[in-house]
Amino acid sequence: MKYLVRDKIFAIGDDYWIETEDGRQAFLADGKALRLRDTLELKDPSGRVLITLREKMFSLRDAMTIERDDQTLAKVRRKRLSLLRNHYRVSLVEGTELDVTGRILDREFTVEYDGELLAHVSRKWFRVRETYAVNVVREDADAALLLAVVICVIRMDEKERGHED
C-alpha cells in the first residue's frame, strides 16, 4: 500500500494527515510543541496514538526513539562505519535490525530486513509538490512502524545537513 506524506510534517506544532494513494486519511502526524525533546505522535483516524517519535535535543550521538504504548520499540541511528553516507540502522528491542539506504535527501530510499524489501520511498509516484510516497511492500508489515522509521530518517538527515526548519 502506498502512503502520501508531505515533506514538511516536522514543523513543531503542526498536524498533518498521511493519506493512502486513493485519498483516505490513514494516519495523523501530530507534532507536539514546547517539550524538552522533539516529539511527534502518529495517530489512527480515530485519534488513538499508535507510535510516538522522540528526538533528544542535546544528545552526543543523533538518535531517535520510536515508542508504542510508552515502551521503546526501536532506536534509529545513522550507521557510522558505512561507505554509504545515507545508511541508517533501526534497532528494534527484540533484536531485529532494519537497514535504510538510498538517497534520503532526494526521497529515494528503501527499508529492508535481512535483504528483504519492506518499504520503498519515492517522489516519482506522485507529482504533488513537497510530497513523497512510502510504498509498504508487505501486506503483513506494520505500516505505522515503517512510516515512523521513514519520518525519523528524513528528520535526522535534514538535521545533519542543516536543512531543518
pLDDT at 159 over 90: no
CA atoms within 13 A on the CB side of 82: 14
User: What is the pLDDT of the chain when averaged over all its residues?
Assistant: 84
Report the amino acid identity of residue 31. G
The residue whose grid cell reads 520510536 is 66
Pairing verdict, β 71-78 and 87-92: antiparallel
Dig out the grid coordinates for 125 from the structure: 509516484
pLDDT digits (tens, 9 = 90+) for 92-116: 999 999 999 999 988 999 999 999 9
Work out whether the CA dihedral 113, 117, 119, 122 comes out positive or negative: positive
Alpha-carbon span 103 to 112, nearest angstrom:
14
Query: Any alpha helices (H) in the chain, and if so which ranges?
Result: 143-161
Q: What is the pLDDT of residue 99?
A: 95
Residue 123 has pLDDT above 50, yes or no: yes
pTM: 0.87
CB–CB of 53/146 below 8 Å?
no
Contact residues for 88 (Cβ-Cβ < 8 A; gap 6+): 76, 77, 78, 79, 99, 100, 101, 104, 153, 156
What distances in angstroms separate CA 121 from CA 57, 112, 132, one per listed residue?
A: 26, 12, 7
